[in-house]
Amino acid sequence: MQELTHWIDGKHVKGTSGRFTDVYNPATGEVQAKVPLATVEEMNDAVARAAEAQVKWGDTNPQRRARVMMKFGALINEHMDELAELVSREHGKTLPDGRGDVQRGLEVVEVCMGGPSLLKGEFTDAGGPGIDLYSMRQPLGVVAGITPFNFPAMIPLWKMAPALTCGNAMILKPSERCPSTALRLAELLQEAGLPDGVLQVVNGDKEAVDAILDNETIAGVGFVGSTPIAQYIYGRAASNGKRAQCFGGAKNHMIIMPDADMDKAADALVGAGFGAAGERCMAISVAVPVGQKTADTLIEKLLPRIEKLKVGPYTAGEDVDYGPVITQQAKQRILGLIDSGVEQGANLVVDGRDFSLQGYENGYFVGPSLFDNVTPDMDIYKEEIFGPVLSQVRTENYEDALKLTMDNPYGNGTAIFTADGDTARDFAHRVNVGMVGINFPIPVPLSYHTFGGWKKSAFGDLNQYGPDAFRFYTKTKTVTARWFSGIKEGGEFNFKAME
Ligand code: NAD
């Protein structure tokens, strides 16, 4: 069996802790690799080496750092299919979705190619008599990225590309469920010219994460994962004096107005609800039709589309719609939540619990499930299911639909489907959610905007990627400078003694 490594000082390094965790093939249930789990000492050693490497990297001019991103971007493109396959092999998502995972990360690398323009700083000419002020953006030093299983390429790239372009060294702690893509990206960064030690990939679990949070050299922590862990990491990092931005879970609502194009709304819901087996923080898990007729029509339109969904392993071809969920434990949790929905009185219109695939009986597949008449007190509404389960909550009018969305503790993404610009505009203006789609189901902003949720979907300030990332990964230093009048007043002909 393959034994994975850490990536330290530009080399693959075996773990020394003696602790490993299994990496599964979710489509078959087989263990395909084991990944080492770092000790506190291994983590601290990696950080100390990164701090040494950072000094020269931080002094390298921004354009040279950006050139590394240019080559890195070219290499990612060249290795797109290989990276997508790595993603799919450990995560289980389809190959087109694996390519999407790499592509949305690559787009952040592309913005970093122009990073110097975001690092320019500010200048005030003549802020007082003979006084100028200028503000510089300087790297934090060593920063850490802690990433989830569901986007093994995209989220590590969202962390490392801006952090490195800003002149920091980074410790990346990828998800122990899907660690291989991050290791491969580190090799490609080295090939692109990143000096050794500037990116260290340290694999591990809670012990490694806690070592990051307590390490005094690490100045900033960027986290993406579930809400309870995001809140924990934010609290511990902040109380140790670190800058932290921690992005958490979601429960994304899509409102369907009576005037919406119902075919387009149903297409959007099927893709956003079941794509990637619902394992996306921007998945739509709650459909909120306005009016009983809209709700009935929506169910009618959804049923044939759900029946047609093709669930299978990524190796079964490009027309597979979604693959298995990540672990046996995740599968059992999802099935348990579907049971609870039935017990608590929701109407299970499509039941995906008994789904089985010939030849893949040990894989973690869950068929698509659709609930109608879900109410906010039910567990299937309250919990982030992170599986292929769509819940319909019926509402009587727009205000009720908006209130439902706003009362939900999560605030990552939301969408409205309508033909009316006035309703769409009102929704975008009033809703307390960070990313809003209008006739657009998964509104992940382009890489030169920023990504971030509100409420329990994010802790800390500043979003991921775009200009916010450049603010997060740099600290501002402001200089107030005064130069006294001197030589420009005219030549001096006396032989002046030094004072
Ligand atoms: P997770 O919280 O279980 O794990 C995320 C990271 O935290 C991993 O690297 C893991 O090793 C580490 N971790 C896990 N338990 C820990 C603990 N007790 N102490 C310290 N560290 C710990 O999340 P996941 O299951 O890998 O990912 C799915 C979650 O991520 C979902 O909730 C999803 O909504 C969320 N997510 C959010 C965004 C966003 O931008 N808001 C994006 C993608 C995923």
Q: What ranges do the domains of the chain cover?
A: 2-248+457-481, 252-438
- pLDDT in the model for residue 430: 98
Number of Cβ within 10 Å of residue 195's Cβ equals 17
Nearest CA to ligand 1 atom 16: 206
* Centre of ligand 1 from the C-alpha of residue 322, in Å: 21
Q: Is 281 a residue of the active site?
A: yes
Ligand 1 pocket member 459 (CB < 6 A)? no
Ligand 1 pocket member 294 (CB < 6 A)? no
DSSP character string of 300-320: HHHHHHHHT--B--GGG-TT-
8 A C-beta contact, residue 473 and residue 168: yes
Distance of CA 139 to the CA centre of its chain: 22
- pLDDT in the model for residue 498: 56
CATH dotted code for 2-248+457-481: 3.40.605.10
8 A C-beta contact, residue 268 and residue 256: no
The greatest distance separating any two alpha carbons of the chain, rounded to the nearest whole angstrom, comes to 99
* Centre of ligand 1 from the C-alpha of residue 224, in Å: 6
Ligand 1 atom closest to the Cα of residue 225 is 30
Give, in order, the Cα–Cα distances in Å from 68 to each of 114, 144, 382: 11, 20, 44
Ligand 1 pocket member 148 (CB < 6 A)? yes
Helix ranges restricted to H, 287-392: 292-307, 328-343, 379-382
- pLDDT in the model for residue 492: 64
Cα–Cα distance between 282 and 249 in angstroms, integer?
9
The residues facing 294 across adjacent strands are: none
Cα–Cα distance between 122 and 102 in angstroms, integer?
34
Q: Do 252-438 and 2-248+457-481 fall under one CATH topology? A: no
Render pLDDT for 51-77 as a digit per residue (tens, 0 to 9). Answer: 999 999 999 999 999 999 999 999 999
- pLDDT in the model for residue 78: 98
- pLDDT in the model for residue 452: 98
8 A C-beta contact, residue 238 and residue 397: no
Ligand 1 atom closest to the Cα of residue 464 is 40
Render pLDDT for 206-262 as a digit per residue (tens, 0 to 9). Answer: 999 999 999 999 999 999 999 999 999 999 999 999 999 999 999 999 999 999 999
8 A C-beta contact, residue 109 and residue 72: yes
DSSP three-state, residue 207: helix
Give, in order, the Cα–Cα distances in Å from 484 to each of 61, 129, 478, 489, 491: 30, 10, 20, 11, 16
252 in the Ramachandran plot: left (φ > 0), alpha (ψ -120 to 50) or beta? beta
Ligand 1 pocket member 414 (CB < 6 A)? no
- pLDDT in the model for residue 202: 98
Residue with tokens 């990143």: 194
Q: Which pTM does this prediction carry? A: 0.96
Q: Which CATH number fits domain 252-438: 2.40.110.10, 3.40.50.300, 3.40.309.10, 3.40.50.1820?
A: 3.40.309.10
Ligand 1 pocket member 205 (CB < 6 A)? yes
Crossing angle of helices 180-191 and 154-165, rounded to 10°? 40
Collect the ranges in the chain with pLDDT lower than 70. Answer: 487, 490-499
Cα–Cα distance between 188 and 191 in angstroms, integer?
5
Query: Which of 223, 281, 451 most suits a substitution to test ligand 1, by most atoms within 8 Å of the C-beta?
Result: 281
Cα–Cα distance between 146 and 165 in angstroms, integer?
18
Q: What are phi and psi of 70, to 5 degrees?
A: -60, -45
